Amino acid sequence: MEISQELAALETLRGTTKSEDLFAAVARVLERYNLSWEKMVGITTDGAPAMIGRKAGLATLVAEKVAKCGGKLNQYHCILHQEQLCAKSIGLGDVVRDVIKIINCICSKALSHRQFRALLEEVNAQYSDVLYHQEVRWLGKGKVLKRFFELRHVIAEFLTTKGSDIQVPTDDSWICDVAFMVDITGLLNSLNVQLRGKEQIITELFDHVKAFQMKLGLLSRHLSAGKDTYMHAF
């Protein structure tokens, strides 16, 4: 099977980015290329309110327009942007916020940041710095979490020496939660990369997702049995 993909256009939105602005941009492209609304079979969006609002989101507006023209639209939520759903289902948002708070405590002040980097060099740490969090998307926090976990002992020593009000928690349950998040975000990022591969058909994407689900099932059974064979950070 030969797959052909063609990008029709990129539209720049100046001013507001409300659902009606997005809809107008889509309409301009269809009109420019003389494409019929009824031939549109699907729309994929992220989870932004302007995209998926039930009453007036872009997906709803497009679906209504397609229906008026005699067509039927399938609506999809892009799996690469489901990190917030994942965060809610895992229930470890507090752990992530704790880590980000600690990292920002170190990096937000230039002097403190320089002193921390000097300490890393002194102890011959694997990394020369900790990754600074700047409101990246949830899955993007994976690398931040991994770097923090691998440097957690050095970070704890540094904050204790500085007499900081913010300290690295020492209880085992918190450390295990961080380790779990490191492994899970790593798996999610790997799936992310697989799904972004070029020239893949739907069955291949489905196989990636099913394999991921099977892997999660295996991990769940092993953890329930007290085994951490497939959890690298544990």
Distance CA 231, CA 179 (A): 8
What is the model's pLDDT at position 136?
45
Stronger pLDDT, 172 or 93, i.e. the higher one: 172
Percentage of the residues of the chain whose pLDDT score is greater than 70: 82
Nearest to 46 by CA among 11, 80, 74: 80
Q: Which two tokens stand for residue 206?
A: 């489905």
> Tokens in use for 101?
């708070």
Q: What is the average pLDDT across 181-208?
A: 83
What does the longest C-alpha to C-alpha distance in the chain come to? Answer: 69
Nearest to 112 by CA among 176, 174, 165: 165
Note the pTM of the prediction, 2 decimals. 0.62
Q: What is the pLDDT of residues 9-47, one digit of tens each?
A: 999 888 888 999 999 999 999 999 999 999 999 998 877
| Better-predicted residue by pLDDT, 116 or 194 | 194
**Residue 59, Cβ neighbours under 10 Å: how many?**
22
CA of residue 17 relative to chain centroid, distance: 22
Q: Per-residue pLDDT tens for 52-88?
A: 888 889 999 999 999 999 999 999 877 655 555 565 5
Q: What is the pLDDT of residues 108-118, one digit of tens each?
A: 778 777 877 77
